[in-house]
Structure 1
Amino acid sequence: MLINRLSYLMILLGTGLFFICFDGYISYYVFLLSLALPLCSLVISLPGMLTMRVRLFLQEDGSIARARKGQSVPLRIEARSPWPLPSGQVRMRLTVENSLTGGTRQEHLILTVGGRPLLLEHALHSAACGLVTCTISKVSACDLLGLFALPISLRGKNRCSAFFFPLVYSPALSVQPSRSPDSDGDRYSQTKPGDDLTELFGLREYRQGDRLSRVHWKLSQKTGRMLVKEPSLPLADCLLFLLDLNGAGSETDLLLDVFATLSSFLLQQEAAHRVGYREGQSLALLELCEPEDARPALEAVLSAGGRAALPPLRREDLPRGVSHVLYLCCTPDTERVRFLRDLYPAARFTGFCTGIELADSNPGFIPVLPGQVPETLNGMVL
């Protein structure tokens, strides 16, 4: 806009000199026309400037977009005005922030809106996983000459988000079938039914194809509805992931690649496991039993934000019967490691950290380096 104003001043100076130096009607009319141009431009553009609306979205239905890191999703910016005549440019600032790494970048966009709605597609991508939030601010509409600007009130949606998930590699992994020595027996899922008829998960209404042998006849007679007994899902082994994201965003990104790869393999092998991470000021535990559980778990971890170091661990907050503890951290916490080893003396312990020096000074830890996640996990037994 400053360039447009300076250009107009040069034009006004030239027409003024022409009016002073040339004695004639044409110089007078040219000078008057140069004075009237800004007013005419504002009068023509003002209705469109006042009725301009801008909307930012990733999905038409307003839902959160999802992609793997390194991929891109189309970010759409729509500007429209009911004024049939052409309006001037729409200027805005786009801010993109990754909650995991804390990285922020800003872009300044300029749209030229005519009589029809204008839709701009902008490729949104992220080199690191995380919850990426896009916001538009400082939106202003200019007249046709770009001399005047009015701020646009963002009554519509000016913020949208996208999940960029960690990469899932395919190293050679295997699952150890042994049961945890300190387990009291089979555990059962509290969220999903299974096929173990010795343990009742719950009751539901009869559906076409259900076996009559599973109908709870007494309760069905009392309630007047045919109720079917759902068996429980046994969880023989308990692998526990603890995400201690106590480092920089790039280090956390590496650890989440490790977790996503191991968790994906376990779900493919139908090996249930749990993951603990920081949520607010407390420890949150999620149970993953089926491949469909992977995405909600990753979204919950990514929504927790970066530098989400684990809170102080308490014995009552952690599950029993753990056969394998996998502790993922940027910098090992010796007190926390000692607590976990004391709490699960019969369980195997595997630690991952982001640095060779840290792994050398902490026995039992495996260093995770950029670009070497598949090689690091290759041959591991879970």
Structure 2
Amino acid sequence: MTSELRNVSNIALTTSALFLIVVAIALNSPVLFSMSSAMLGLLGVAHVQARLSTLGLRFRRRPMPTVRQGESVQVEIEVWSDRNMRRPLVMVQDRLPEALRATNVSPSVPVAPAPGERCVTSYRLRPMRRGVFRWSTVEVTGSDPLGLIRATKLVRVDPEPLTVLPAPIPFPLRLPRSAGWGGGEADHGPSRGSGVDPRGIRDYQSGDSLRHVHWRSSARSGRLLVKEFEVGLYADATVFVQNSLGTAASVRGHVALDLLCGFAAYLAESFLGQGLEVHLPGLDAQAKRTPPQMRLMEVLRELAAVQPSPEPLGTRVAAQIGSIRPGSSVYLFLAEADDTLPHAVRLLRSRGCSIYALALPPASADPRLGGCDTEFLAHLRQAGADASYLPEVPEP
């Protein structure tokens, strides 16, 4: 029974009962009075049963899978009863945070929890924001067996994080100079600098190219081994994403910081697929080389966790100078002007780094976001950066 029909039936029954009471008093009719009393009693019992159906329930939200921004994900909640009572079907729905911007939220599956048994209800949603989200409130809705009355109760549940990875946003890329590849093999997937001298042999890992399998050693050892190549001095990309407080502003229906993370995700996906290393100083602590697909998931998780901060990007870059390999290619994803950034660019240039400053076009009407005008990009070019605008992203 829909909410509208239920409201109509409640009003009709209550009005009918009150009308019968008036008529019974006017006619001094015990029969009509008994009928009206029975109808009011039915509504009273229905209210009590609806309220009881929401009591004595326990909930546990199952761990949620990592999902990419804009993809559908299923949320499952375990429900069980602490009371030895039969109850009708109940609906369990999460109170989702507004920051998630969830769309296509389906109704949850109705369940009838029995004593000592756990049942699972589920629903689906599409998160339109990247980030790590937690919520702890569920809305429990129960009714009487006839479906006349509904009762709703809010319950606190231990939160489980939902990690929403940024969706990669394509844009024209410039490969790092030299990139450590030999023989022009930059387009052969996760080759790790194939075409230069191998430096050793290691166990095969998911994402390694089969053409690098060392068959003779594999036959002797009984397990799959691959050749590992020296990737060269410049075969890495260092990425900084501006996360100043202004990046929380909206740009054509998107959050500026989400756009920057989406562009950075595309760069990471492209470069890791071509054998480069990708570093996010201050966000990751990569101590050893990992297969490209595994490293990509690490980078996407790091980008998903980025939140606005009052620290200027230039200050953050200057603080990480010592961790940046000399001669690296450094990519700066920008949304607004930062007076501390030209100095940081000069420090990077002094270490032989190539700097690519990639900025969102200044089209935001939100006063919180100053934007990057052509004058600021000119200052970055004077400091030694290759500064340009990223492509515009259409409104959702």
**TM-score normalised according to structure 1 size:** 0.65
Q: 8 Å contact 2:237–2:331 — kept in the other structure?
A: yes
SS at match of 2:295: helix
Q: Percent identity?
A: 13
For residues 1-382 of structure 1, what are the structure 2 equivalents within 5 Å? Answer: 3=7, 9-41=14-46, 44=49, 48-57=53-62, 62=63, 64-77=64-77, 79=79, 81=81, 85-87=86-88, 90=91, 94-98=95-99, 113-114=111-112, 120-137=121-138, 139=140, 141-143=142-144, 149=151, 151=153, 153-154=155-156, 157=158, 159-167=160-168, 169=170, 174-177=175-178, 196=199, 236-237=233-234, 238-246=236-244, 247=247, 248=249, 250-277=255-282, 286=286, 290-291=291-292, 292-306=294-308, 310=313, 312=316, 313-314=318-319, 317-345=322-350, 346-356=352-362, 358-361=372-375, 362-363=377-378, 364-371=386-393
Report how far residue 343 of structure 1 moved: 3.6
User: CA 1:308/1:326 → structure 2, altered by over 3 Å: closer, same or farther?
Assistant: farther
**Letter paired with 1:236:** L
Q: 8 Å contact 2:242–2:335 — kept in the other structure?
A: yes
Report how far residue 148 of structure 1 moved: 7.7
Q: Distance in 2 between matches of 1:322 and 1:338?
A: 18
**Letter paired with 1:69:** Q
Report how far residue 299 of structure 1 moved: 0.9
RMSD, aligned CA: 4.5
User: CA 1:128/1:70 → structure 2, altered by over 3 Å: closer, same or farther?
Assistant: same
Report how far residue 295 of structure 1 moved: 0.9
Report how far residue 6 of structure 1 moved: 5.5
Report how far residue 31 of structure 1 moved: 2.4
Count matched residues.
320
User: CA 1:243/1:150 → structure 2, altered by over 3 Å: closer, same or farther?
Assistant: closer
User: CA 1:28/1:112 → structure 2, altered by over 3 Å: closer, same or farther?
Assistant: farther
Q: 8 Å contact 1:89–1:146 — kept in the other structure?
A: no
Q: Distance in 2 between matches of 1:15 and 1:55?
A: 47
Deviates more, 1:162-171 or 1:338-347: 162-171
User: CA 1:304/1:7 → structure 2, altered by over 3 Å: closer, same or farther?
Assistant: farther
Q: 8 Å contact 1:69–1:129 — kept in the other structure?
A: yes
- Listed as ranges, the gaps of 5+ residues in structure 2 are 181-191, 202-215, 222-226, 363-370, 379-385
TM superposition outliers: structure 1 runs of 4+ over 6 Å: 107-111, 115-118, 230-233
SS at match of 1:70: coil
User: CA 1:331/1:139 → structure 2, altered by over 3 Å: closer, same or farther?
Assistant: same
SS at match of 1:358: coil
User: CA 1:5/1:358 → structure 2, altered by over 3 Å: closer, same or farther?
Assistant: same
Residue of structure 2 in register with 1:203 after alignment: none
User: CA 1:369/1:301 → structure 2, altered by over 3 Å: closer, same or farther?
Assistant: same
Q: 8 Å contact 1:245–1:306 — kept in the other structure?
A: yes
Q: 8 Å contact 2:281–2:320 — kept in the other structure?
A: no
Q: Distance in 2 between matches of 1:14 and 1:108?
A: 41
Structure ranking higher in strand proportion:
1
**Letter paired with 1:360:** T
Q: 8 Å contact 2:109–2:123 — kept in the other structure?
A: no
SS at match of 2:128: coil
Q: 8 Å contact 1:196–1:232 — kept in the other structure?
A: yes
Per-residue CA deviations over 1:16-67 (Å, capped at 9, x if unaligned) read: 113213333421321221232244335655654333344444xxxx2x4223
Q: Distance in 2 between matches of 1:92 and 1:43?
A: 22
Query: Which protein, 1 or 2, shows the higher relative CO under an 8 Å CA cutoff with sep ≥ 6?
Result: 1
Q: Distance in 1 between matches of 2:31 and 2:135?
A: 53
Q: Distance in 1 between matches of 2:149 and 2:268?
A: 57
Q: Distance in 2 between matches of 1:128 and 1:49?
A: 32
Per-residue CA deviations over 1:316-351 (Å, capped at 9, x if unaligned) read: 653231332211121132322322323433322110
Q: Distance in 1 between matches of 2:144 and 2:108?
A: 13
Q: 8 Å contact 1:240–1:275 — kept in the other structure?
A: yes
Per-residue CA deviations over 1:353-378 (Å, capped at 9, x if unaligned) read: 11257252113322124338xxxxxx
User: CA 1:83/1:317 → structure 2, altered by over 3 Å: closer, same or farther?
Assistant: farther
User: CA 1:342/1:134 → structure 2, altered by over 3 Å: closer, same or farther?
Assistant: same
**Letter paired with 2:298:** P
